[in-house]
Amino acid sequence: MSGLTLLALVPAAHAADGSPGMGSTLAIVAVAVGVLVVAAVMFRSAVDGVIAAAVVGALAAVYLTADHFMVMHGGSSVCNVSSVINCEAASLSKYAELYGIAISLYGLGFYAAIGYLGYRMKMGRTGTAPTLVLLGALGAVGYDVFLAYKSATEIKALCIFCAGTWTINVMLLVAAVILVRRLPTAFMDALGHAVAEDALPGLVLGLAVFIVGMLVLRSQEGGGLSAASGGSGGGASKFAGMVERVQGRVVVDGTEPVHGDPAAKFTLVEFADYQCPHCGLMAPVLKKLLEENKDVKLLFKNYPLDSGCNQYVGRPMHPWACGAAASGECARMQGKFWELSSAMFANQEYLAPDDIHFMAEKAGLDLKQFDECMASTGPLDAVKADVEAGGAAEIDGTPAIFLLGAYGDSWVKLAVGPGDRERMHEFFAAARTGQALPAPVEPPAEP
């Protein structure tokens, strides 16, 4: 039944606000098939069901870990169907990591430990391991309930692969309950025996898988997406895929807020949306980048992803984005743009007018002047002018970051994400010392 429910998300995605491509549809089908396989195996044998759940859960965890890495380095998730069914929104939320590590990587270690316990039960080497599986499944389901709640109330998007693992964990819990009920001894006695014989090897295996996964990810950090796709990591190839040709034209009119030395050699222009999770993660990354590279300046342009003020967006998406952008314009008129902008990016869940008014006060703005500004048409007109500039540059999402100064008088687009700060730092070091830079490539075709 759970698998059929997941399959139903395909037409549901059409009915929402998106139209899933082949990759998205296959992702949904793959998750549904995985869940159905686990259910079928579990119907035949609870022990085999534990093993199947561990295998399918581990595969989903591997995908989610790779997907998180790709998104953090400027890539896109294949299972972005709409604003409602959207893995990228989940990957970019603060709940996607725990202590700076993707939670899916913890999940991979968990499934490795569960798989070990299932194998021990299958081979008849333990009769008490179901107690450990039950405790593990209870913890997993409890955490899943928390994530599901945050997905509904804060992220406002569903990650289909995450939903698949939630379903698998529920089935794992059911299998564990069945197996525990068959134990010939009292639960606490069986648990004590399992802790003595099975807990430590399972924990060691799970920790080993977790550490190996972390090492693999760390080995890719230096090269970002190019390393993940086989880049050699030397010279210009280290930045392969990082620089794209500009499809349209980048227009600056001198009204943009400037962060850094106005006379800096390198100019970055960022088009951003205050409700865009990716933009929220990029804001402190770009700030740190400018602190490390004094010959780089940043110009900011608004590109709210909402039809309320953006003619290139066909539907309402981010209801507070246009108002937040206008607020930034009013802050700019008082010379407080970066103070309010940073506060809005840091508090993306709270961008209603009253919330922004509070942030404006904390940022030191004259509130009477701010309110008069917001009541006028000027700020929204300025936002729409930025949107027109975004249309001229033919941007296809936010943040969109353009660079001038590394390739003579030609603008290029940087295909980077929040995980690419070190690689951007190295890029500017190479550019200022005259090292070879990669030739700009054509941007990937839209699916």
Structural domain contains residue 447: no
Rounded mean pLDDT of 245-262?
Answer: 94
Indicate the residue type of 410: S
**Same domain membership, residue 73 and residue 151:** yes
- Among 185, 206, 221, the domain-final residue is 221
**Same domain membership, residue 213 and residue 356:** no
Confidence bin at 94 (pLDDT 50/70/90):
confident
Structural domain contains residue 445: no
**Same domain membership, residue 303 and residue 190:** no
Bridge partners of residue 401, in order along the sequence: 270, 414
The SS3 assignment for 187 reads helix
Residue with tokens 């994530």: 147
Inter-CA distances, 288 with 38, 343, 356, 403, 413, Å: 46, 16, 24, 17, 20
Confidence bin at 136 (pLDDT 50/70/90):
very high
Confidence at residue 9, expressed as pLDDT on a 0 to 100 scale:
37
Confidence at residue 191, expressed as pLDDT on a 0 to 100 scale:
94
Separation between Cα atoms, residue 139 and residue 91, nearest integer Å: 21
Angle (nearest 5°) at CA 204 between 200 and 205: 120
pLDDT at position 116 over 60 = yes
Structural domain contains residue 14: yes
Q: How, if at all, do strands 243-245 and 266-272 pair?
A: unpaired
The SS3 assignment for 86 reads strand
Closest Cα to residue 210, out of 108, 139, 288, 298? 108
pLDDT at position 230 over 90 = no
Separation between Cα atoms, residue 204 and residue 257, nearest integer Å: 52
**Same domain membership, residue 371 and residue 351:** yes
Bridge partners of residue 158, in order along the sequence: 85
pLDDT digits (tens, 9 = 90+) for 390-400: 999 999 889 99
Separation between Cα atoms, residue 42 and residue 177, nearest integer Å: 12
pLDDT at position 373 over 90 = yes
Separation between Cα atoms, residue 243 and residue 223, nearest integer Å: 14
pLDDT at position 229 over 70 = no
Helix or strand (DSSP H, E) at 103: helix 103-122
Structural domain contains residue 443: no
Q: How, if at all, do strands 412-414 and 243-245 pair?
A: antiparallel
**Same domain membership, residue 168 and residue 83:** yes
Rounded mean pLDDT of 128-142?
Answer: 96
Find out whether 427 and 440 touch, Cβ atoms under 8 Å. Answer: no
**Same domain membership, residue 270 and residue 337:** yes
- Among 188, 221, 254, the domain-final residue is 221
Ramachandran quadrant class, 176 (left: phi over 0; alpha: psi -120 to 50; beta: rest): alpha
Structural domain contains residue 439: no
Confidence at residue 419, expressed as pLDDT on a 0 to 100 scale:
83
pLDDT at position 235 over 60 = no
pLDDT digits (tens, 9 = 90+) for 15-74: 344 444 555 677 678 888 888 999 999 899 999 999 999 999 999 999 899 888 888 776
Confidence at residue 53, expressed as pLDDT on a 0 to 100 scale:
94
Which of 81-90, 153-162, 418-427 is the least confident region? 81-90
Structural domain contains residue 214: yes
Inter-CA distances, 90 with 13, 36, 169, 228, Å: 16, 24, 19, 21
Separation between Cα atoms, residue 118 and residue 425, nearest integer Å: 47
Separation between Cα atoms, residue 296 and residue 253, nearest integer Å: 18
Structural domain contains residue 150: yes
Structural domain contains residue 440: no
Find out whether 86 and 159 touch, Cβ atoms under 8 Å. Answer: yes
Structurally, how many domains does the chain consist of?
A: 2
Q: How, if at all, do strands 97-98 and 243-245 pair?
A: unpaired
**Same domain membership, residue 217 and residue 136:** yes
* Boundaries of domain holding 367: 228-432
Indicate the residue type of 98: L
Q: What is the pTM of this model?
A: 0.70
Inter-CA distances, 282 with 273, 287, 289, Å: 11, 9, 10
Confidence at residue 22, expressed as pLDDT on a 0 to 100 scale:
58
Is residue 399 reached through a cis peptide bond, with omega within 30 degrees of 0 on the bond before it?
yes
Confidence at residue 155, expressed as pLDDT on a 0 to 100 scale:
79
**Same domain membership, residue 186 and residue 44:** yes
Indicate the residue type of 413: K
CATH number at residue 14: 1.20.1440.130
Rounded mean pLDDT of 153-181?
Answer: 90
